[in-house]
Amino acid sequence: MSDILAAAAAALGAPEDLVSRSAAARAVADGTSVEEVLAAWSGGTPLPEASAPPPPPDEPAPTSVDPAAEPSPTTGAVAVATAPPAPVPTPSIPAPSIPTTSTRSSTTPILDGQRSRPVLALLAMAGLFGLGLLTTLIIPSYLSEDYNHLVPDSELTAAGQAGLEIYLSEGCWYCHTQMVRPVLADVGLGSTTEPFADSLDTAAFGIQRIGPDLAHIGSRASLMGGSGPITENELAAILTDPTSVNADGLHPTYSYLSESDISALAQYLLQLK
C-alpha cells in the first residue's frame, strides 16, 4: 500500500498523510477500499463502483413433454441459462482538492519608530507643574484684595502687647482661633485671613475652634445688647463672670487674674480688628 500511497501523493502533489486521510474518507463514502481509491488517484484504471446485487433469475414456465418422444420417463434438473448483467460504466473518482500553502517571504519587515526624547518630556512635565503652581497659589495671592492680616495692620500698644502675653500664657488659643476661613460658616466674622499672614507663625493663631473666632473681635457688635461695638467692660465681664453673657457658663473664669491683667487682655482683644 505504501507504493500506491506514494504514487497517489506524487500524482496529486500533496503530503502522503493528507492523501491517506482523504482516501480513507472517500472509501467510506463510496463503499470501496482505500487501495482502490489510491489506485484511481495514482492514474490506474478506475475501479467499478459498488453496485446492487443482480436480481434472482426468473423461473421457467412449465412445458408439456410428449411421452412418445422420450424413450423412458426420466427426471432431472432443468438448467436455465441466464445472461450475465451488463457492466455498468463506473465514472472515475475525481482527485480531492488539496489546499497548498503559500510561499512566505523570507524578508523580515522593518518597523520605523520615532526617536525618544526624554529631556523634552521632563521639560514639559516641569512646565505643567509650574503652571499649576502659578494658577493655584501665586496668582490668587496677588488678585485677592479682601484678605487681611491676622493681627491689626498697626502695631499693638503696650497694653495690647501685655494682653497678648497673657492670652498666650493662659492658653486662650486652645479653644479660640484667629483665622476667618473663606467658607459659608465664617460669613460675618470679618475679612478672610490672608494665607501668608505673619500672625500665622505665632501661637495666637490657635489649633482648634471650640469657642468663637477672635480674629476681628474688636470690630464686632456688643455682646450685651448695646447699640455700638463691643467694649472693654463687656470683655472684662465675660472674662471674670461668663454667666453674665452666656447662661450656661461654659467659658472658664479668669477672676483670679488681677484687674490690670484683665484690662490688658481686654485691650488686646479690642485691637483685633
pLDDT in tens, 112-165: 667 778 888 899 999 999 888 877 776 655 554 444 444 444 578 898 889 999
Q: 147: burial class by Cβ within 10 Å (0-12, 13-18, 19+)? A: middle
Q: Which residue has the higher pLDDT, 32 or 128?
A: 128
> What pLDDT was estimated at residue 77?
44
Query: Model confidence over 51-74: pLDDT tens digits?
Result: 444 555 555 555 554 545 455 544
Class of domain 158-270: mainly alpha
Q: What span, in angstroms and rounded, lies between the C-alpha atoms of 61 and 67?
A: 19
- Pull the grid cell for residue 101: 500553502
Q: What span, in angstroms and rounded, lies between the C-alpha atoms of 180 and 252?
A: 23
Query: Model confidence over 163-175: pLDDT tens digits?
Result: 999 999 999 988 8
Q: What span, in angstroms and rounded, lies between the C-alpha atoms of 170 and 266?
A: 13
Domain residue ranges of the chain, discontinuous segments joined by +: 2-41, 158-270
pTM, two decimal places:
0.44
Q: Which residues contact 22 (CB under 8 A, 6 or more apart)?
A: 96, 98
Residue 82 has pLDDT above 60, yes or no: no
Q: What span, in angstroms and rounded, lies between the C-alpha atoms of 126 and 120?
A: 10
Residue 16 has pLDDT above 80, yes or no: yes
